[in-house]
C-alpha cells in the first residue's frame, strides 16, 4: 500500500514512503512536521491549508500526497529565504494584518500565488483573488493593504 | 513622592512562599521577586461600581517576576486569541514598573504558572485585569525602591527610577538596577500602604501604537497552536456524535471501524471514540461505526422559534423602570409598536476546538484552544475526579474565540480519552462538529412600544426582551417613562433553546442595539426629524453625544429628512464600558435585494487607549465581522438538528464585502481604560438596517437582512 513519493518540498528534494492516498495537509503536518499549514474545515472552503504547488495556491486538505509526486510544494515555512521574510510575510507583519493568526499562513500563501500570477493587482483583483480565504477576526482591510504593499515591494526589488 | 509609602523592613526569604497557590511555582520558575496583587485595593482603579465586578474571582491573585537579567515576566491567566493583549499588557507593565518595554515577557493561560482567571471574555483584560497588574507593578516598584533605599543609604524620596535603574537624584553614581537588587534572591513582601499607579502623563509606552508583538511567528508559521503540538506515542481521536441534539444512542456496532488498520475503539458510557496514530485513518474509522438513535426533539425550528419564545411560560423580570409607561403614552403624539427577531449564530473561529491531553503518572496535562484554561481545569477536576493540583491546562495561541471557546468540552473529552487509552490524545473537532457542538449566540425577540410628543421628544419606552440577554438593553436616551422587562427561562421549566447557547462577541448587545436603534430611527422618520438630530435631541449622555458628533464629522454627514436613495444610516450604543456611534452607507439592489455596504465609520470612547493601533484593528474587525450577523449569518435547524454545518451553507464575511472603514478613538487619556474587543460590533445590524431604510424605505425587523428578506420588506414600501 505504501509507495515512495518524490517531490520538491520548500526547495528541497524530498521523498516519503507513505500511503499515497493520505491527505496532503495531514502529511505535511504530521509526517513532515510543517504545522504552519492549518486545518480549518477539511472541505476546501476556508483556505487555512493553502500551499503553493508549482506556484499555484491550492487547498492541501483536498489533495492526496500522491497528487504532488514530481511537483514543487511550498508551505509557509518555505517562504522566507535565509532567515529573511518574504515580502508578503513582511507586509502582513508591518500592516498588522494578523489577529489570531490561524488563517494567516493560508492567506499569505494565497496572496503569494496571486502576486506570482499578477504582480500588480488592483484592489478589486486582490479582493477577488483572496475572496475564498476566510478570516473570522475580520482583518480583511489590513490584509488587502498588506498585499498591495507586498506587490509594490516585489515589483520593485525581487 | 509616592515611593515614600514603601515599607523599608523588607523581609528577604529564600524558602517560604506564603500564600502561593501552587507549590510548584518556585521549582518551575527559580529565583526572582514575587509580588502579590491586592485585588481589593485595585478594584477602585477599574472605574466601575463594586457590584459590576462580582464576576471577578474572589481569590484573584496575579504575579510578576523580575529575573536576574532584568527581564520582567508577566503572568496572566488570560489567553491571546488575536485581541492583542500580548502586546498591550506589557505596555502597561513597562510603564508602571518603569522598565524598558522589550524587557517584559508574557506567560499566558497556564494554570500551573499563572494566577487564577475566570476567562478571557467580556473585554475585561485591559479594564479589569489591567488595573490589578498595574497595582502589582506599582507595588513591586515601591518594594524595590525600599530595598534600594536601604542599600544606597538615601531616603526613598531621593530616589528616581528609569528603565529598571534606581538612582540617587543627588548623586547619580549612587545607583542600583532592579536586576542587581533581585540577583539570586527571592523576596516576598507587601507594602502597608499601596502606592498609587502612575499618572497617564508619565507614561512612555501606554497610549502609543505598537504592532502586534506576535506578528512575526504568526507570519512564518512558527506560532504554535494546540493542534501543532506533538508528543511521542500521540494518537488522533474522533468521537461518535449523535445526528441531533437530544438524540439518544440505542445501539452501536463498531466492528467495521475496528477493521481500519491501527484503529482502536474506546468507550466510556456515551463517549465512543476511535483512536489511530494516523489522522486520516481515524477519520475513515469513525464513519464506519453504525449507530442507531431514538429521537425526542423539540418541535421548533429556525422559523418558528420566535413564536415559540413568545408563547413560552417565562420567568418575567423587570430589569429597570422609571416613571409611568401609561402616563408617557397619554402625553405621546405618536405611538410605535415593533417586534424584532434575531436568530442563533455560530462562532466559526477558523481554528476548531482542539485539545491534546497527556496523562503522566497521576498528572493530567491538557493543551487546549480555550478562552478559559482554569474553567477547563475545573471541568476536568469535576468530570474525571482528579485533584486540582494534578491537572494542568495550557492554552497556547488560540485561533479565534469570539465567546465560543469558553466551554472547552473538547478538553474534557481529550482528557477522558487520554485516561482511557493511556496515550497522549489529540482531538481536533471537524468543522461539522464545530457547527454542531457550538454554544450558539441565542436567538431572541425584542418587542418595543414607544411614543414621542409633537416636538419629537421620546415620552415612553416599554422594552421587552425574550430569551436573549440584557447586555446592551439600557434605554440610553433621556426618556421620562421607561421600563425594561426580560422574559427568560423559567427555573425548572422545559428548556426553550433547543441546544446550547452562550456568549458571542458582545453577547446579546447586538440584539438589543439592533432593536433599540431601529426603533429610534422609526420614530425619527415619523417625527420628520433628521435621525442624527433626533438622537441629539433625545440624548443627555455626553459621551454618546460626543461619539455621534465625532462620527458625523468623520463621515461627512449631511442631514436629511426623507428617504430618497441616500442609503445612510446611524446607530449608537454602549458596551464593555465603552461608547460607540456608527454611520454607514449602503447600496441596495432592488431587483435582487442584495445589500452592499459602501462605507462604515465608527467613533469610540474607550477611556485611556493603551495601544491605539491595536484598538483600531479591533474596531475594524468588529465592523467587518458585524456585516456577517447583519447580512447572512443564521443557524438553520429543525429540532436539535443543526442543518448548516459548513462554510458553504453558513456564510461569514468575505473580502468582496469589505467596505471603506473609518475609525475615530476619542481622546480620553485621563479616564480609566475600557473594553475594546467588542463595542464596535454592537451597532452594525442597526446601522445597516437604518441605511437600507434610508436607501429604499424598506424597514427590516429581522436579522440577518438577507436578499429575500429585503425583497419582502420592499414589497411593503
What are the residues whose beta carbons fall under 8 Å from the beta carbon of B610, sequence distance 6 or more? B88, B91, B92, B126, B130, B206, B207, B673
B43: confidence class by pLDDT, cuts 50, 70, 90: very low
CB contact under 8 A, B400 and A77: no
Q: Name the phi and psi angles at B714, rounded to 5.
A: -65, -30
Q: Distance between CA atoms of A53 and A58, rounded to whole angstroms?
A: 7
Q: What per-residue string of b and e applies to B217-235 under the rule 16 or more CB within 10 Å gives b?
A: bbbbbebebbbbbebeebb
Q: What is the mean pLDDT of residues B387-403?
A: 96
Domain boundaries, chain A: 3-78, 87-157
Q: Distance between CA atoms of B474 and B36, rounded to whole angstroms?
A: 37
Q: Distance between CA atoms of B646 and A46, rounded to whole angstroms?
A: 10
Residue B33 has pLDDT above 70, yes or no: no
Same domain, B252 and B209: no
Same domain, B119 and B96: yes
CB contact under 8 A, A100 and B350: yes
CB atoms within 10 A of CB B18: 7
Chain A residue nearest residue B617, CA to CA: A139
Residue B647 has pLDDT above 90, yes or no: yes
According to DSSP, residue B127 is labeled I
Residue B18 has pLDDT above 60, yes or no: no
Domain assignment present for residue B310? The answer is: yes
Residue B237 to chain A, least CA–CA distance (Å): 14
DSSP for chain A, please give it. Answer: --EEEEEEETTEEEEEEE-TTSBHHHIIIIIS--TTSPPS-SSSSS-TTEEEETTEEEEGGG-BGGGGTT-EEE-GGGTSBTTBPPHHHHHHHHTT--SS-SSHHHHHHHHHHHHHH-SS--HHHHHHHHTTS--SS--HHHHHHHHHHHHHHHHHH-
pLDDT, position B31: 44
The topology under which CATH files domain A3-78 is Ubiquitin-like (UB roll) (3.10.20)
Residue B667: asked if its preceding bond is cis (omega within 30°), the reply is no
Residue B593 to chain A, least CA–CA distance (Å): 21
Which cell numbers hold the place of B162?
528609569
Q: B482 with B461: CB under 8 angstroms?
A: yes
Q: What is the mean pLDDT of residues A112-140?
A: 97
Is some CB atom of chain B closer than 8 A to the CB atom of A99? yes
Q: What is the pLDDT of residues B293-349, one digit of tens each?
A: 999 889 999 999 999 999 999 999 999 999 999 999 999 999 999 999 999 999 999
CA B23: distance to chain centroid? Answer: 31
B514: three-class secondary structure by DSSP: helix
Q: What is the pLDDT of residues B514-536, one digit of tens each?
A: 999 999 999 999 999 999 999 99
Same domain, B84 and B117: yes
pLDDT, position B126: 83
pLDDT, position B20: 31
Chain A residue nearest residue B614, CA to CA: A96
What are the residues whose beta carbons fall under 8 Å from the beta carbon of B144, sequence distance 6 or more? B33, B66, B161, B166, B178, B181, B182
CA atoms in the 13 A half-sphere facing the CB of B111: 27
Q: Distance between CA atoms of B655 and A127, rounded to whole angstroms?
A: 5
CB atoms within 10 A of CB B528: 10
Q: What is the mean pLDDT of residues B191-211?
A: 85
pTM confidence score: 0.92
Q: Mutate which of B84, B220, B395 to disrupt the A interface (most A C-beta within 10 Å)?
A: B220
Q: B159 with B152: CB under 8 angstroms?
A: yes
Q: B383 with B101: CB under 8 angstroms?
A: no
Query: Which is it for the CA torsion B3, B7, B13, B17, positive or negative?
Result: negative
**Candidate from A39, A93, A134 with C-beta closest to B227:** A39
Q: What is the mean pLDDT of residues B58-66?
A: 51
pLDDT, position B200: 84
CB contact under 8 A, B219 and A108: yes
- Interface A-B, measured as beta-carbon pairs within 8 A, has a size of 177
Residue B44 has pLDDT above 90, yes or no: no
Q: Which of B219, B234, B266 is the last residue of a domain?
A: B219
Q: Which of B219, B236, B256 is the last residue of a domain?
A: B219
Q: Distance between CA atoms of B655 and B678, rounded to whole angstroms?
A: 21
Is some CB atom of chain B closer than 8 A to the CB atom of A154? no
pLDDT, position B6: 25
**Candidate from B82, B220, B656 with C-beta closest to A76:** B220
Q: What is the pLDDT of residues B345-388, one digit of tens each?
A: 999 999 999 999 999 999 999 999 999 999 999 999 999 999 99
For residue B400, the chain A residues in CB contact (below 8 A) are 99-100, 102, 136-137
B 419-448: CB under 8 A from A: 428, 430-431
CA A3: distance to chain centroid? Answer: 26
Nearest residue to B584 via CA among B703, B706, B692, B704: B692
pLDDT, position B134: 86
B128: confidence class by pLDDT, cuts 50, 70, 90: confident
Beta bridge partners of B440: B501
For residue B224, the chain A residues in CB contact (below 8 A) are 35
Q: Distance between CA atoms of B443 and B425, rounded to whole angstroms?
A: 35
C-alpha distances out from residue A22 to A10, A17, A61, B32, B284, Å: 19, 11, 10, 49, 11
Same domain, B154 and B276: no
Is some CB atom of chain A closer than 8 A to the CB atom of B83? yes
CB contact under 8 A, B613 and A96: yes
DSSP for B573-592, please give it. Answer: EEETTEEEEEEEEEEE-TTT
Strands (E), B259-373: 264-268, 271-276, 290-294, 315-322, 334-342, 354-360, 363-368
Is some CB atom of chain B closer than 8 A to the CB atom of A2? no
Residue A110 has pLDDT above 80, yes or no: yes
**Candidate from A98, A128, A135 with C-beta closest to B215:** A98
Q: Mutate which of B353, B655, B659 to disrupt the A interface (most A C-beta within 10 Å)?
A: B655
What are the residues whose beta carbons fall under 8 Å from the beta carbon of B308, sequence distance 6 or more? B300, B496
Q: Distance between CA atoms of B487 and B255, rounded to whole angstroms?
A: 49
Chain A residue nearest residue B624, CA to CA: A138
* Strands B12-13 vs B171-177: parallel, antiparallel or unpaired: unpaired
According to DSSP, residue B489 is labeled P
Is some CB atom of chain B closer than 8 A to the CB atom of A103? yes
Q: What is the mean pLDDT of residues B627-646?
A: 98
C-alpha distances out from residue B164 to B35, B96, B176, Å: 16, 11, 9
Same domain, B370 and B330: no
CB contact under 8 A, A43 and B349: no
For residue B223, the chain A residues in CB contact (below 8 A) are 101
* Mean pLDDT computed over every residue of chain B: 89
Q: What is the mean pLDDT of residues B687-698?
A: 97
CB contact under 8 A, A48 and B350: yes
CB atoms within 10 A of CB B204: 15
Same domain, B422 and B478: no
Domain of B392 in residue numbering reads as 226-295+353-428
Residue B653 to chain A, least CA–CA distance (Å): 8
pLDDT, position A156: 54
Q: What per-residue string of b and e applies to B584-622 under the rule 16 or more CB within 10 Å gives b?
A: bbbebeeeebebebeebbbbbbbbbbbbbbbbbbbbbbb
For residue B397, the chain A residues in CB contact (below 8 A) are 100-101
- The stretches of B562-640 forming alpha helices (DSSP H) are 612-631
Q: B593 with B572: CB under 8 angstroms?
A: no
Same domain, B287 and B324: no
Residue A27 to chain B, least CA–CA distance (Å): 9
Q: How many residues does chain B have?
A: 717
Count of structural domains, chain B: 3
Is some CB atom of chain B closer than 8 A to the CB atom of A146? no
B116: confidence class by pLDDT, cuts 50, 70, 90: confident
Q: What is the mean pLDDT of residues B182-187?
A: 60
pLDDT, position B186: 54
Q: What is the mean pLDDT of residues B578-589?
A: 98
According to DSSP, residue B441 is labeled B
Q: Distance between CA atoms of B104 and B115, rounded to whole angstroms?
A: 17
Q: What is the mean pLDDT of residues B122-140?
A: 83
pLDDT, position B65: 83
For residue A44, the chain B residues in CB contact (below 8 A) are none
Domain assignment present for residue B300? The answer is: no
CA B536: distance to chain centroid? Answer: 30
Nearest residue to B237 via CA among B105, B103, B43, B433: B433
Give the residue with greater pLDDT, B61 vs B309. Answer: B309
pLDDT, position B138: 85
pLDDT, position A155: 79
For the question of an ipTM over 0.90, the answer is yes
What are the residues whose beta carbons fall under 8 Å from the beta carbon of B567, sequence distance 6 or more? B585, B586, B587, B588, B598, B691, B692, B694, B695
Q: Distance between CA atoms of B45 and B197, rounded to whole angstroms?
A: 9
CB atoms within 10 A of CB B412: 21
Same domain, B97 and B17: yes
Q: Distance between CA atoms of B515 and B700, rounded to whole angstroms?
A: 10
Domain assignment present for residue B201? The answer is: yes
Is some CB atom of chain A closer than 8 A to the CB atom of B223? yes
B32: confidence class by pLDDT, cuts 50, 70, 90: very low
CB contact under 8 A, B280 and A48: no
CB contact under 8 A, B658 and A127: yes
For residue B623, the chain A residues in CB contact (below 8 A) are 138
A 35-64: CB under 8 A from B: 35-43, 45-46, 48
Nearest residue to A148 via CA among B613, B655, B222: B655
Chain B residue nearest residue A22, CA to CA: B280
Q: What is the pLDDT of residues A24-51, one digit of tens each?
A: 999 999 999 999 999 999 999 999 999 9
Q: What is the mean pLDDT of residues B232-246?
A: 97
CB contact under 8 A, B215 and A93: yes
Q: Distance between CA atoms of A99 and B349, rounded to whole angstroms?
A: 12
Chain B residue nearest residue A132, CA to CA: B654
According to DSSP, residue B126 is labeled I
pLDDT, position B564: 62
Domain assignment present for residue B267? The answer is: yes
Same domain, B330 and B363: no
Q: What is the pLDDT of residues B608-627, one digit of tens each?
A: 999 999 999 999 999 999 99
For position B274, which CATH number holds?
3.30.365.10
For residue A40, the chain B residues in CB contact (below 8 A) are 350-352, 431
Same domain, B446 and B364: no
**Candidate from B212, B646, B652 with C-beta closest to A96:** B212
Q: Distance between CA atoms of B71 and B30, rounded to whole angstroms?
A: 13
Q: Which of B397, B428, B459 is the last residue of a domain?
A: B428
Q: Mutate which of A88, A92, A137, A148 to disrupt the B interface (most B C-beta within 10 Å)?
A: A137
Is some CB atom of chain A closer than 8 A to the CB atom of B209? no
Q: What is the pLDDT of residues A80-102, one digit of tens each?
A: 999 899 999 999 999 999 999 99
CB atoms within 10 A of CB B169: 11
Beta bridge partners of B452: B334, B458
Nearest residue to B447 via CA among B483, B410, B412: B483
According to DSSP, residue B221 is labeled T
What are the residues whose beta carbons fall under 8 Å from the beta carbon of B234, sequence distance 6 or more? B277, B356, B423, B424, B425, B426
CB atoms within 10 A of CB B5: 18
Beta bridge partners of B446: B340, B465
Is some CB atom of chain A closer than 8 A to the CB atom of B547? no
CB contact under 8 A, A139 and B617: yes
CB contact under 8 A, A136 and B400: yes
Residue B124 to chain A, least CA–CA distance (Å): 18
A157: confidence class by pLDDT, cuts 50, 70, 90: very low
Q: B437 with B405: CB under 8 angstroms?
A: no
Q: B46 with B55: CB under 8 angstroms?
A: no
Max distance between CA atoms of chain B, in angstroms, equals 84
Which cell numbers hold the place of B417?
480519552
The CATH architecture that domain A87-157 belongs to is Orthogonal Bundle (1.10)
Domain assignment present for residue B434? The answer is: no
B 650-709: CB under 8 A from A: 652-658, 661
CB contact under 8 A, B280 and A137: no
According to DSSP, residue B628 is labeled H
Domain assignment present for residue B433? The answer is: no
CB contact under 8 A, A142 and B617: yes
CB contact under 8 A, A100 and B397: yes
B201: confidence class by pLDDT, cuts 50, 70, 90: confident
Amino acid at each position: 500500500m505504501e509507495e515512495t513519493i518524490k517531490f520538491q518540498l520548500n526547495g528541497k528534494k524530498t521523498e516519503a514512503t507513505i500511503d499515497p492516498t493520505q491527505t496532503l495537509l495531514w502529511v505535511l503536518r504530521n509526517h513532515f512536521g510543517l504545522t504552519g499549514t492549518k486545518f480549518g474545515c477539511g472541505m476546501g472552503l476556508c483556505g487555512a491549508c493553502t500551499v503553493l504547488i508549482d506556484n499555484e495556491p491550492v487547498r492541501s486538505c483536498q489533495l492526496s500526497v500522491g497528487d504532488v509526486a514530481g511537483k514543487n510544494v511550498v508551505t509557509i515555512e518555505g517562504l522566507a529565504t535565509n532567515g529573511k521574510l518574504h515580502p508578503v510575510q513582511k507586509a502582513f507583519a508591518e500592516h498588522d494584518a494578523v489577529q489570531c493568526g490561524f488563517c494567516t499562513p493560508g492567506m499569505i500563501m494565497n496572496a503569494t500565488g496571486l502576486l506570482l500570477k499578477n504582480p500588480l493587482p488592483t484592489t478589486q483583483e486582490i479582493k477577488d483573488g483572496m475572496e475564498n480565504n476566510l478570516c473570522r477576526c475580520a482583518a480583511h482591510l489590513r490584509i488587502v493593504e498588506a498585499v498591495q504593499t507586498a506587490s509594490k515591494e516585489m515589483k520593485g526589488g525581487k | 513622592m509616592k515611593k515614600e509609602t514603601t515599607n523599608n523592613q523588607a523581609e528577604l526569604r529564600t524558602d517560604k512562599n506564603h500564600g502561593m497557590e501552587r507549590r510548584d511555582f518556585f521549582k518551575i520558575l527559580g529565583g526572582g521577586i514575587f509580588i502579590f496583587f491586592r485585588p481589593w485595593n485595585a478594584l477602585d482603579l477599574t472605574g466601575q461600581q463594586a457590584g459590576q465586578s462580582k464576576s471577578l474571582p474572589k481569590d484573584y491573585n496575579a504575579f510578576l517576576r523580575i529575573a536576574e537579567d532584568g527581564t520582567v515576566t508577566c503572568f496572566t491567566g488570560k489567553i491571546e486569541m488575536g485581541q492583542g493583549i500580548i502586546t498591550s499588557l506589557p505596555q502597561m507593565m513597562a510603564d508602571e514598573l518603569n522598565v524598558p518595554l522589550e524587557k517584559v515577557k508574557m506567560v499566558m493561560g497556564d494554570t500551573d504558572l499563572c494566577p487564577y482567571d475566570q476567562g478571557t471574555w467580556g473585554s475585561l483584560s485591559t479594564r479589569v485585569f489591567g488595573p490589578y497588574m498595574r497595582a502589582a507593578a506599582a507595588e513591586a516598584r515601591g518594594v524595590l525602591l525600599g530595598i534600594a533605599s536601604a542599600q544606597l543609604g538615601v531616603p526613598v524620596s531621593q530616589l528616581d527610577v528609569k528603565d529598571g535603574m534606581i538612582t540617587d537624584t543627588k548623586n547619580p553614581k549612587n545607583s542600583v538596577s532592579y536586576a542587581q537588587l533581585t540577583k539570586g534572591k527571592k523576596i516576598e513582601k507587601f507594602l502597608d500602604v499601596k502606592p498609587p499607579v502612575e499618572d497617564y502623563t508619565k507614561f512612555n509606552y501606554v497610549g502609543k501604537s505598537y504592532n502586534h508583538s506576535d506578528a512575526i511567528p504568526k507570519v512564518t508559521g512558527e506560532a504554535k497552536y494546540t493542534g501543532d503540538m506533538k508528543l511521542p506515542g500521540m494518537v488522533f481521536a474522533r468521537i461518535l456524535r449523535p445526528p441531533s441534539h437530544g438524540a439518544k444512542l440505542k445501539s452501536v456496532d463498531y466492528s467495521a471501524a475496528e477493521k481500519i488498520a491501527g484503529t482502536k475503539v474506546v468507550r466510556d458510557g456515551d463517549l465512543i471514540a476511535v483512536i489511530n496514530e494516523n489522522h486520516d485513518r481515524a477519520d475513515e474509522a469513525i464513519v464506519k461505526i453504525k449507530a442507531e438513535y431514538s429521537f425526542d426533539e423539540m418541535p421548533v425550528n429556525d422559523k418558528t422559534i420566535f413564536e415559540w419564545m413568545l408563547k413560552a411560560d417565562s420567568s418575567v423580570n423587570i430589569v429597570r423602570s422609571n416613571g409611568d409607561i401609561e402616563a408617557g403614552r397619554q402625553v405621546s403624539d405618536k405611538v410605535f409598536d415593533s417586534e424584532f427577531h434575531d436568530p442563533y449564530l455560530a462562532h466559526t473561529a477558523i481554528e476548531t476546538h482542539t485539545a491534546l491531553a497527556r496523562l503522566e503518572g497521576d498528572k493530567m496535562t491538557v493543551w487546549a484552544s480555550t478562552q478559559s484554561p482554569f474553567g477547563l481545569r475545573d471541568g476536568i477536576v469535576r468530570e474525571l475526579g482528579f485533584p486540582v493540583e494534578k491537572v494542568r491546562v495550557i492554552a497556547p495561541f488560540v485561533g479565534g474565540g469570539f465567546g465560543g471557546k469558553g466551554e472547552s468540552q473538547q478538553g474534557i473529552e481529550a482528557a477522558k480519552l487520554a485516561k482511557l487509552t493511556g496515550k497522549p490524545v489529540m482531538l481536533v473537532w471537524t468543522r461539522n462538529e464545530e457547527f454542531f457542538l457550538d454554544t450558539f449566540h441565542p436567538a431572541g425577540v425584542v418587542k418595543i412600544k414607544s411614543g414621542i410628543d409633537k416636538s419629537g421628544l421620546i415620552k415612553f419606552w416599554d422594552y421587552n426582551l425574550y430569551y436573549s440577554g440584557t447586555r446592551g438593553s439600557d434605554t440610553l436616551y433621556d426618556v421620562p417613562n421607561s421600563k425594561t422587562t426580560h422574559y427568560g427561562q423559567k427555573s425548572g421549566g422545559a428548556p426553550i433553546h433547543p441546544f446550547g447557547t452562550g456568549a458571542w462577541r458582545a453577547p446579546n448587545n447586538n440584539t438589543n442595539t439592533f432593536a433599540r436603534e431601529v426603533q429610534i430611527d422609526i420614530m425619527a422618520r415619523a417625527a420628520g426629524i433628521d435621525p442624527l438630530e433626533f438622537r441629539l435631541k433625545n440624548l443627555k449622555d455626553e459621551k454618546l453625544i460626543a461619539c455621534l458628533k465625532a462620527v458625523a464629522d468623520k463621515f461627512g454627514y449631511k442631514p436629511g429628512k426623507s428617504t430618497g436613495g441616500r442609503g445612510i444610516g446611524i446607530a449608537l450604543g454602549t458596551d464593555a464600558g465603552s461608547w460607540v456611534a456608527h454611520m454607514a452607507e449602503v447600496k441596495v439592489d432592488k431587483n435582487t435585494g442584495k445589500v452592499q455596504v459602501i462605507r462604515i465609520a465608527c467613533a469610540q470612547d474607550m477611556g485611556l487607549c493603551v495601544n491605539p493601533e491595536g484598538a483600531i484593528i479591533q474596531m475594524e474587525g468588529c465592523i467587518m465581522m458585524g456585516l456577517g450577523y447583519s447580512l447572512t449569518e443564521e443557524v438553520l435547524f429543525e429540532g436539535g438538528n443543526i442543518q448548516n454545518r459548513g462554510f458553504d451553507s453558513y456564510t461569514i464575511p468575505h473580502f468582496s464585502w469589505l467596505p471603506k472603514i473609518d475609525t475615530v478613538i476619542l481622546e480620553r487619556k485621563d479616564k480609566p481604560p475600557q473594553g475594546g474587543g467588542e463595542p464596535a460590533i454592537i451597532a452594525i445590524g442597526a446601522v445597516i438596517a437604518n441605511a437600507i431604510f434610508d436607501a429604499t424605505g424598506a424597514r427590516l425587523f429581522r436579522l440577518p437582512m438577507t436578499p429575500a428578506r429585503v425583497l419582502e420588506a420592499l414589497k411593503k414600501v
